[in-house]
Amino acid sequence: MVIQLSGHHLYKKFKQQTILNDVNISLASGEIYGLLGPSGSGKTTLVKILLGLEKCDQGKVELFNQKPSISSFHHLGYMAQSDALYEELTAYENLDFFGSIQGLRKKERKQRIEEVAEIVHLKDHLSKKVLQYSGGMKRRLSLACALIHKPKLYLLDEPTVGLDPLLRQSIWDLFQKLKDDGATLIVTTHVMDEVNRCDRVGLLKDGRILATGSPIDLLKTYQVNSIEEIFLKGESD
């Protein structure tokens, strides 16, 4: 099992508020890891620390078995919780921009833009300015921006928020396909039924990982019928 990303003994406080309290997490090559937790439990903070966008107070992050560096970022696809798009530009121009900062050449960008637009069902809307996009279209465009350079590791913060059930389904089918092609994904969510699409889930509550494992194993271990019940029980690993 090759570990692609790991956080060891991570601690984080904002002012006096403890957000992460000795969090350990690791992602193995080719898995979909769901990070599940109630609103405000620290999912975004943890993802940002793993990505190097936020500093932890204590602990260590390893990306591809090394200290994270600028060069490793070309292998990452990050989708932030709030869409980081240029509203005045068209969707095509946004994708072209993100492709170019990832080092793709013009011809390759053109080809990839068509491919990713097809994947997220935005092919017919590429020439629209982003400010004319709906919330769900912006989410899908953000995802396309994260896909453009074919990274091997994805950090996706609530990628399906604001999407209707059919689109959510197709986005999860896409995650499965990325995984089948060898990518590793960490996806944050508080939608319980998305958990079943993950190979492993980590339950984050009150700054701690309460439990980690495959959804089926967690249900068996905790002798519950749903993952929600584990949160309610609040038992530790």
205 binds ligand ATP (CB under 6 A): no
* Minimum distance of ligand ATP from residue 44's CB (angstroms): 3
Q: Which of 10, 25, 30, 44 binds ligand ATP (CB under 6 A)?
A: 44
Site size toward ligand ATP (CB under 6 A) is 12
Count of other CB atoms within 10 angstroms of residue 35: 29
Residues in 170-199 that interact with ligand ATP by CB under 6 A: 190
- Quote the DSSP letter at residue 167: H
Write each residue from 9 to 28 as x if it is in contact with ligand ATP (CB under 6 A), else as -, in one continuous string: -----x----x---------
State yes or no: residue 39 binds ligand ATP (CB under 6 A): yes
Residue 12 is inside which H or E element, if any? strand 3-14
* Amino acid type, 224: V
Contact, 205 vs 220, CB < 8 A?
A: no
Can you tell me the distance from the alpha carbon of 23 to that of 45, in angstroms, rounded to the nearest whole number? Answer: 12
Interacting residue with ligand ATP among 4, 7, 30, 45 (CB under 6 A): 45
Q: Buried (b) or exposed (e) across 84-111, using 16+ Cβ within 10 A?
A: ebeeeebbbbbbbbbbeebebeeeebee
CB of 220 to ligand ATP, least distance (A): 26
Does residue 30 interact with ligand ATP by CB under 6 A?
Answer: no
What the block records as the tokens of 136 is 């769900």
- Asked if 160 is part of the footprint of ligand ATP (rule: CB under 6 A), the reply reads no
**CB of residue 7 vs ligand ATP: minimum separation in angstroms?**
14
Residue 43 engages ligand ATP in binding (rule: CB under 6 A): yes
Query: Smallest distance, Å, CB 48 to ligand ATP?
Result: 8
> Applying CB under 6 A, which of residues 40, 103, 135, 234 lies at the interface with ligand ATP?
40
Q: What are phi and psi of 186, to 5 degrees?
A: -120, 125
Q: Least distance from C-beta 116 to ligand ATP, angstroms?
A: 25
Q: Provide the token pair at 164.
A: 């209707």
Distance CA 200, CA 216 (A): 9
Assess 34 for contact with ligand ATP (CB under 6 A).
no
- Do the beta carbons of residue 162 and residue 137 sit within 8 Å? no
Q: Contact positions toward ligand ATP, by CB under 6 A?
A: 14, 19, 37, 39-45, 81, 190
